[in-house]
């Protein structure tokens, strides 16, 4: 949040355990000593670069409030385009797996927006604990698997695989904002020296677990489109790319070209 006044208000509300409207309704309100202490600590943390969301432990996504800790990537608004694409491609009852679920933002949202059979995988145990907590708190029926990518998912068992994989090149580390580089989990950000290493494995594993005609929906990083398209190769069809609000190609969807099945949409 690069908006100092808003950030200060959000942190003050966190210290006072109140809504922002309360600050304007009660301008005469003085802070108790403990509230000053909390507020001061939050400001100090924010000045040190810690993202506001890791201080308040909250981030809104698709109209719902998710708990976030430094074990998970803070859900980004552009990832809502990934959810939107998956919702358009997955009919009710579809078997959907979110790979590398982090906070659970994608998996939980899908399960709450549509009657889908949602599974979420994650390699980080502290992250999957956050995701399961979000599913429980928001009442989302999601099954969680602690595993690498799709290694615990059976062959041809899924109608749709969705993922916001790590796609930052470890060589671009220094170009990231301090808030991201120094505070967000490396396992969620970096794929390897090129940034495309996880896509490569994910595409191969998705081809294995998707039934013929099933969709793979992935978030793209800045400048990711052409390279990821070339990784798809010939085993995929009906490829489409959706831009985000900034006009950046953000979502790539493609169908498993294997034969022998039908899948609506």
Residues near ligand GLN (CB under 6 A) are: 73, 76, 164-168, 180, 189, 219
- Our CB check for ligand GLN shows the closer of 151 and 177 to be 177
SS3 190: strand
- Our CB check for ligand GLN shows the closer of 199 and 215 to be 199
Nearest residue to ligand GLN, using CB?
Answer: 167
104: which DSSP letter?
A: S
Total count of residues recorded for the chain: 265
Report residue 234 as tokens. 């010939």
Q: Say if CB 252 and CB 225 are below 8 A apart.
A: yes
- Our CB check for ligand GLN shows the closer of 102 and 213 to be 102
Q: How many CA atoms lie within 13 A of 46 on its CB side?
A: 24
| Pairwise CA distance, residues 114 & 99, whole Å | 18
Q: Whole-number minimum distance, CB 142 to ligand GLN, in Å?
A: 20
| Pairwise CA distance, residues 241 & 261, whole Å | 24
Q: Whole-number minimum distance, CB 61 to ligand GLN, in Å?
A: 13
Q: Whole-number minimum distance, CB 159 to ligand GLN, in Å?
A: 23
- Our CB check for ligand GLN shows the closer of 167 and 196 to be 167
Q: Whole-number minimum distance, CB 13 to ligand GLN, in Å?
A: 25
């Amino acid at each position: 949040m690069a908006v100092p006044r808003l950030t200060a208000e959000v942190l003050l509300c966190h210290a006072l355990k109140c809504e922002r409207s309360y600050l304007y309704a009660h301008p005469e309100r003085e802070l108790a000593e403990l509230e000053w202490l909390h507020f001061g600590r939050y400001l100090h943390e924010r000045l040190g670069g810690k993202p506001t969301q890791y201080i308040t432990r909250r981030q809104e996504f698709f109209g719902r409030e998710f708990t976030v800790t430094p074990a998970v990537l803070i859900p980004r608004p552009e990832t809502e385009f990934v959810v939107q694409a998956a919702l358009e491609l997955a009919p009710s009852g579809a078997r959907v797996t979110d790979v590398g679920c982090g906070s659970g933002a994608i998996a939980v949202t899908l399960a709450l927006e549509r009657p889908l059979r949602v599974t979420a995988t994650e390699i980080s145990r502290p992250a999957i604990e956050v995701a399961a907590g979000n599913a429980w708190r928001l009442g989302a029926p999601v099954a969680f698997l602690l595993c690498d990518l799709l290694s615990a998912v059976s062959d041809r068992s899924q109608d749709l695989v969705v993922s916001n994989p790590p796609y930052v090149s470890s060589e671009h580390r220094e170009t990231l904002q301090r808030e991201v580089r120094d505070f967000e989990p490396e396992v969620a950000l970096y794929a390897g020296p090129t940034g495309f290493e996880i896509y490569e494995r994910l595409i191969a594993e998705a081809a294995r677990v998707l039934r013929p005609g099933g969709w793979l929906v992935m978030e793209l990083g800045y400048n990711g489109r052409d390279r990821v398209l070339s990784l798809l190769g010939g085993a995929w069809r009906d490829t489409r790319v959706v831009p985000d609000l900034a006009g950046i190609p953000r979502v790539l969807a493609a169908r498993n070209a294997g034969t022998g099945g039908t899948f609506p949409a």
